[in-house]
Amino acid sequence: MGMTITEKILAKHSGRKSVRPGEIIEAKLDFVLANDITAPLAIERFRQAGSKKVFNRDRIALVLDHFVPARDIKSAEQAKLIREFARKLKITYFFEAGCGIEHALLPEEGLVSPGELIIGADSHTCTYGALGAFATGVGSTDLAAGMITGKLWFKVPATIRVNFTGKPGKWVFGKDLILALIGKIGVDGARYMALEFSGEAIRHISIFGRFTICNMAIEAGAKNGIIPPDRITGSYLRNRNKRPALFLQSDPDAQYCQTITMDVSKMEPQVALPSLPENVRPVSQVKGIYLDQVVIGSCTNGWLEDLSIAARILAGKKVHPRVRLLVLPATRKIYLQALKAGILEKLSHSGATICPATCGPCLGGHLGVLAEGERALATTNRNFIGRMGSPKSEVYLSGTAVAAASAVLGRIGSPEEI
């Protein structure tokens, strides 16, 4: 009996010929990461265990990205703790505030590879599945164990195969595909399962759209999201990756617990209404909802591709006077690329506020916290109650094209309207 790509990766890293869903395994880790929120607790557990060194200082990344630049004394102290730990243990990949958001930064730096097993103390670690890796979020205590031993236990997940058929329309991107799926199966529809994305539509999605799709697998409850690597993957990795890539594919006779087929050829851009990512509607059904703030950025949609889309839609137009438009490039390199290309200048002329490469408003950290009664449309990945500020505010989710158009309209709307 064949295996899925997820099962192949877990089998390889546990030293077994095969694994099956439900089995408990101990597997070797290729890479471990944490951020300024989750690393302090992991460091505390690391010290409580009496450990003096990490399993491999070249296979760990510590990234300051959530509350940066430091918003208050507590966040500054957390950053200082991580900074000192990284220096003392000579962690090779310590990324200071301003370098970028971890889930865009690590692929950009070539630190995650196809066929690898990666854990991170952040739920959106599943982003790296876009490169054909098994990547999943863990708690800070498990993260500490991984830093010490280079191993961790896993229960092998069953796999749902998602077959996206057809060719996406002009304004339909990776964010729309994953929102449509979550709207179909719900926020617990793939609980502790692998979501394997395939089909004709995936071949029309850029690597950045694929990162977005896998990033939000967790919003359906999935253990991981993964896309079998292809020429698009290889093109992105060329002259970038620091470790060898293992391009794996699921076997023809692999066993899936479910297969979901979705035709995207007539799909509209999608919008998730408060306060769950599963409350999804086509944009045509939610036009007219007035906005106070629009956020374009985050680890979901802060890529150069997203900034380019926003600049194209906003060209020659002005942000509605009622709306605050915040733009957050996902990394410093993306910021500089957008600066050099004139994208940031165009966005700024339209009325956008250009923010540093940080998570910022996505989690209500800073740089765009919502007041009571305010309403935001964001290209981020979560819209839970209080996610972006006051528990009496509202957050809607969309892709970049809808967000940019809505910033001009002053209400949720389609790019076709402008």
Q: Tens-of-pLDDT digits for all 418 residues of the chain?
A: 899 999 999 999 999 999 999 999 999 999 999 999 999 999 999 999 999 999 999 999 999 999 999 999 999 999 999 999 999 999 999 999 899 999 999 999 999 999 999 999 999 999 999 999 999 999 999 999 999 999 999 999 999 999 999 999 999 999 999 999 999 999 999 999 999 999 999 999 999 999 999 999 999 999 999 999 999 999 999 999 889 899 999 999 999 999 999 999 999 999 999 999 999 999 999 988 999 999 999 999 999 999 999 999 999 999 999 999 999 999 999 999 999 999 999 999 999 999 999 999 989 888 999 999 999 999 999 999 999 999 999 999 999 999 999 999 999 999 999 8
Secondary structure (DSSP) of 337-395: HHHHTTHHHHHHHHTPEE--SS-GGGGT-SSSPBPTT-EEEESSS---TTTTB-TTSEE
Please give the CATH superfamily to which domain 270-411 belongs: Aconitase, domain 3 (3.30.499.10)
**Plot region of 271 (φ>0 → left; ψ -120 to 50 → alpha; else → beta):** beta
pLDDT at 354: 97
Distance of CA 166 to the CA centre of its chain: 24
Q: What is the pLDDT of residues 43-67, one digit of tens each?
A: 999 999 999 999 999 999 999 999 9
SS3 of residue 407 by DSSP: helix
Fold adopted by 5-240+253-262: Aconitase; domain 3 (3.30.499)
- Give pLDDT, residue 143: 97
Q: Helix, strand or coil for residue 302?
A: coil
Two tokens, residue 205: 């999605």
Indicate the angle between helix axes 343-350 and 332-340, nearest 10 degrees.
80
Q: Where are the domains of the chain?
A: 5-240+253-262, 270-411
End-to-end Cα spacing for the chain: 53
pLDDT value of position 284:
95
Burial code of 183-207, b = ≥16 C-beta within 10 A, e = fewer? bebbbebbeebbbbbbbebbebbeb
Count CA within 13 A, CB hemisphere, residue 418: 26
pLDDT of residue 25: 98
The pLDDT, as a whole number, for residue 365 is 86
User: Can you name the residues that pair with 26 across neighbouring β-strands?
Assistant: 153
Residue 28's pLDDT is what? 98
What pLDDT is attached to residue 389? 93
Residue written as token pair 């971890």:
102
The reply to whether 5-240+253-262 and 270-411 are identical in fold is yes
Cα 416 from chain centre: 27
175: three-class secondary structure by DSSP: helix
Q: Quick check: 36 and 75 in contact, CB under 8 A?
A: yes
